[in-house]
Amino acid sequence: MTSADPAAEARDRFRRVAITHEWLTVPGGSELVVRHILDLFPEAEIFTSVYDREAMPEFRDHVVHTSFLDRVPGATRHYPRMLPLMDRAFRSFDLNAFDLVISSNHACAKNVTTPESTRHVCYCHTPMRYAWDPSFMSSEEVGPLARLALPPMLAHLRRRDLAAAALPDAFVANSTVVRDRIRDFYGRDSVVIHPPVETEPLLKQPRAPGDYYLHLGRLVPYKRADLTVAACAQLGRPLKVAGDGRALDSLRASAPPNVEFLGRVSDEQLRELLAGALALVFPGEEDFGIVPVEAQAAGVPVIAYGRGGATDSVVDGQTGLLFSEQTPEGLVQAILAFEDATFDEDAIRDNARGFAPGRFRREFASFVVHGSQNGHTCR
């Protein structure tokens, strides 16, 4: 029998809580998860490899412990290059004083060692993509010498990651596809608890659809903004691209006049863009993907690649369309099919309500106290 207030029960049972997180350098979906775990355990202490205090002011009121990597000059910019040292960095933390350790993990945050009496719950955003997904590095700009060194380095990362996967007492996956990866790569069961999405402000946003499609998010190769640009160029459809990143210059170079690049936008600008968009186009394969849920909260249908986390958040034919061929032609056909379909705005918003932060905190707190490894899905 579960408590009427799982959060209070969790705080009563676990008085000293540590949260381990890969790095605190750029705001994103995994950092949002950490913030909501801190809402459950306000006195928790954070352990991370590298911390950019200026970029992440929301954590200034919390105790944040950093690893030896934080002392390396330029660490807050060059932390991805330190990945081979991350395992050692997290194993160096002393967590003996804590009753509960929650690792927010997509690389090495779960690699911490804990006493037998300490409960360790891993909230897994994904098993380490660099190690397990051969296609993840294929679109990155890597020099010839570095590319020669990649196979043995990635094999080492896989071995270390697999060994560390035995350390947590329990796994929570952020999506169905991540649950499957945890089973396939680690041989571990997990439950699915979708991450929190700040839906409330967007649920109140009025809709006034214009004539443009919207691509929203960081412009990095695996998010496949190139497909959105190519498909809208082929169809001559207006496209607004909001976000920045290292792929921006190459996208601009290939874009026709009907594609507008807006760079990073404010929350107010984002709401206005969503209000006027015909649909959000989401062609990458994400572990979960908060952006499609945000769009649906604003009543915007989503055209998404039908793999990864979008299959958990987009109801095909009801709140958007899922396409199966991750090519410009496949996306062109999806856009044409979308233009022949109709969608109910209220149904789209109702679907997004199921991902609100209160649901995450309630389910996660309940799992921390009562959860088992039966592999059920929480939503």
Paired strand residues for 1 = none
pLDDT over threshold 80, residue 233: yes
Equal CATH topology for 6-196+356-370 and 200-353? yes
What is residue 102's three-state secondary structure? strand
Report residue 5's pLDDT band, with 50, 70 and 90 as the boundaries.
confident
Q: Render pLDDT for 138-155 as a digit per residue (tens, 0 to 9).
A: 555 555 655 566 677 788
Residue 192 has phi, psi (to 5 degrees) of -100, 120
More confident call, 49 vs 5 = 49
As a whole number of angstroms, the distance between CA 252 and CA 374 comes to 48
Q: What is the pLDDT of residue 3?
A: 59
Q: Which CATH superfamily is domain 6-196+356-370 in?
A: Glycogen Phosphorylase B; (3.40.50.2000)
Tokens of 127: 């098993």
Q: Which CATH superfamily is domain 200-353 in?
A: Glycogen Phosphorylase B; (3.40.50.2000)
Q: In this structure, are strands 45-48 and 64-66 parallel, antiparallel, or unpaired? A: parallel
pLDDT over threshold 90, residue 86: yes
Q: Where are the domains of the chain?
A: 6-196+356-370, 200-353
| Contact between residue 220 and residue 204 where contact means Cβ atoms under 8 Å apart | no
DSSP 8-state class, residue 72: S
| Contact between residue 40 and residue 100 where contact means Cβ atoms under 8 Å apart | no
Angle at 96 between CA 19 and CA 91, to 5 degrees: 65
Q: Render pLDDT for 100-120 as a digit per residue (tens, 0 to 9).
A: 999 999 999 999 999 999 999
Q: Render pLDDT for 34-70 as a digit per residue (tens, 0 to 9).
A: 999 999 999 999 999 999 999 999 999 999 999 999 9
Lowest mean per-residue pLDDT among 87-96, 338-347, 369-378:
369-378
Q: What is the pLDDT of residue 373?
A: 42
